[in-house]
Amino acid sequence: MPTSEGVSPWASVKGKWVGPVSAAGWVRFYSVVAGFHKTFSWVTDFSLSKDNVYQIMRGGRARWKVENETFNTLKNQGYHLEHNYGLGEKYLSMVFFSLMMLAFLVDQLQQISCPLFRELRKKAGSKQNLWERIRAVFHLFLVESMEMISRILLAGPQKIRPVFINDTS
């Protein structure tokens, strides 16, 4: 972004403006995407130069994206991160948080490695809707595995008549 004097403290790297490059560790990233101007800033303890500022900027953007998407998922997609779990004994809130993070890890692993889960996730729409459907099947049926729950949900509604057993004892 050249100034009115024609001198720019900014570095144009791969069609993006990054800068002003400062050895003190301050980075500003500026871009125009579909007519919208975006500016992002970071402070870092890395030594900055025109040679490495683009890679450091990309690393900062990637880290922000991971953190933002993770906390958004934990807060808004069925994990209820904002809920106050601090009402119990001394370590109860940490135990609940650890269990929630473990559930989140299992969910992430399923999304990466299980085609059945990905198909079910796509069919359900939102994660919150998926969790509600899983809970419903879990409450209504005796299931042997998560695979069975997934297959029931993928099959969709069925016309099944319940069989009542009369206890004659």
Contact (Cβ atoms closer than 8 angstroms) between residue 152 and residue 137: yes
What pLDDT score was predicted for residue 24? 59
Helix residue ranges per DSSP H, 17-79 = 53-76
Q: What is the pLDDT of residues 7-35, one digit of tens each?
A: 344 555 555 555 555 555 677 777 777 88
Calpha distance 7→33 (Å, rounded): 24
What pLDDT score was predicted for residue 89? 67
Tokens of 61: 């953007």
What pLDDT score was predicted for residue 86? 58
DSSP single-letter state for residue 30: E
What pLDDT score was predicted for residue 5? 41
Q: Residue 12 sits in which domain range?
A: 7-76
Q: Concatenated DSSP letters for 74-119?
A: HHHSSS-TTS--TTSSTTHHHHHHHHHHHHHHHHHHHHHH-HHHHH
Number of domains in the chain: 1
What pLDDT score was predicted for residue 7? 39
Calpha distance 130→30 (Å, rounded): 38
If DSSP codes are grouped into helix, strand and coil, which group holds residue 157?
A: coil
Is residue 92, in this structure, part of any structural domain at all?
Answer: no
Contact (Cβ atoms closer than 8 angstroms) between residue 52 and residue 24: no
Calpha distance 17→31 (Å, rounded): 6
pTM here is 0.54
Residues of the chain with pLDDT under 50: 1-9
What pLDDT score was predicted for residue 56? 80
Q: Concatenated DSSP letters for 2-20?
A: --TTS--SSEEETTEEE--
Is residue 106, in this structure, part of any structural domain at all?
Answer: no
What pLDDT score was predicted for residue 3? 39
Is residue 105, in this structure, part of any structural domain at all?
Answer: no
What pLDDT score was predicted for residue 50? 73
CA distances from 93 to 2, 33, 67, 71 (A): 52, 42, 21, 17
Cα distance from N-terminal residue to C-terminal residue, the chain:
87
